[in-house]
């Protein structure tokens, strides 16, 4: 293939094209073919490079999505502390505590449950020497040598009278831990307390999901 152009310029020395006697540039087929090949080759490399860049971009986006999804899956749900419930019966009346807390009496951890109305306060304290499942005797309350229990009653928290286990029959009781998982305990209790000759019996006592 020959391409002809009219010019008044002198032909170059590199042999890529030449002038005929009419000053017409003759571009050799070889030169044209080589340059076309170079152009096509460059175009191919450009296209390949862009394809690689596009593929790499897609790979990065996919990787980010996978990582974000993994992070979402690995998120842990918030730990929810179960609501403690304590109920007990005194006489013929069943009380369910308005508030439950953990206190320390002497060297023992104690469950303190309070039932409050506008005119009356009922309170139970159960001492624990262990959080292991099993049955425990409730003996002398507020003692360093044994665990016990007490029932308090009054018109307000400032005027409560306590009826305690003494360890002397019949002023004793039992407490059974039926479940203990990660310091969250559930169980039952009953006892008879005394104060100045007066006696109160607490029956059908239960505590559920109490965190020690």
* Section 138-142 average pLDDT: 94
The whole model's pTM is what? 0.63
Which tens digits make up the pLDDT trace of 61-113? 666 566 565 555 455 566 667 799 999 999 999 999 999 999 887 778 999 99
Which tens digits make up the pLDDT trace of 158-194? 999 999 999 999 999 999 999 999 999 999 999 999 9
Distance of CA 68 to the CA centre of its chain: 18
pLDDT at 140: 94
Contacts for 158 with CB less than 8 Å, ≥ 6 apart: none
What's the CA gap between 196 and 90, in Å, rounded? 18
Beta-bridge partner residues of 149: 126
Cβ atoms of 143 and 165 closer than 8 Å: no
* Section 141-159 average pLDDT: 93
3-state SS assignment for residue 26? strand
Distance of CA 146 to the CA centre of its chain: 38
Q: Which residue has the tokens 């360890």?
A: 167
What's the CA gap between 208 and 123, in Å, rounded? 17
Task: Break the chain into its structural domains and give their ranges.
Answer: 3-74, 85-211
Instruction: Tell me how crowded residue 110 is: count the other CB atoms within 10 A of its CB.
Output: 22
Q: Which two tokens stand for residue 9?
A: 């310029």
């Amino acid at each position: 293939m020959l391409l002809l152009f009219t010019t008044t310029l002198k032909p170059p020395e590199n042999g890529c094209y030449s002038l005929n006697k009419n000053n017409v540039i003759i571009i050799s087929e070889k030169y044209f073919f080589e340059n076309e090949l170079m152009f096509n080759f460059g175009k191919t490399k450009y296209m390949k490079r862009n394809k690689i860049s596009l593929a790499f971009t897609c790979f990065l986006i996919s990787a980010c999505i996978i990582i974000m999804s993994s992070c979402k899956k690995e998120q842990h749900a918030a730990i929810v502390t179960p609501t403690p419930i304590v109920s007990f019966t005194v006489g013929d009346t069943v009380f369910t505590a308005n508030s439950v807390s953990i206190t320390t009496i002497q060297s023992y951890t104690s469950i303190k449950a309070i039932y409050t109305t506008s005119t009356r306060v009922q309170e139970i304290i159960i001492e624990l020497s262990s959080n292991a499942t099993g049955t425990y005797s409730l003996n002398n309350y507020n003692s360093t040598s044994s665990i016990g229990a007490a029932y308090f009653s009054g018109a307000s928290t400032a005027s409560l009278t306590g009826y305690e286990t003494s360890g002397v029959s019949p002023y004793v009781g039992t407490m059974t831990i039926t479940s203990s998982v990660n310091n969250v305990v559930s169980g039952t209790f009953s006892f008879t307390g005394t104060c100045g000759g007066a006696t109160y019996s607490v029956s059908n006592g239960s505590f559920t999901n109490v965190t020690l």
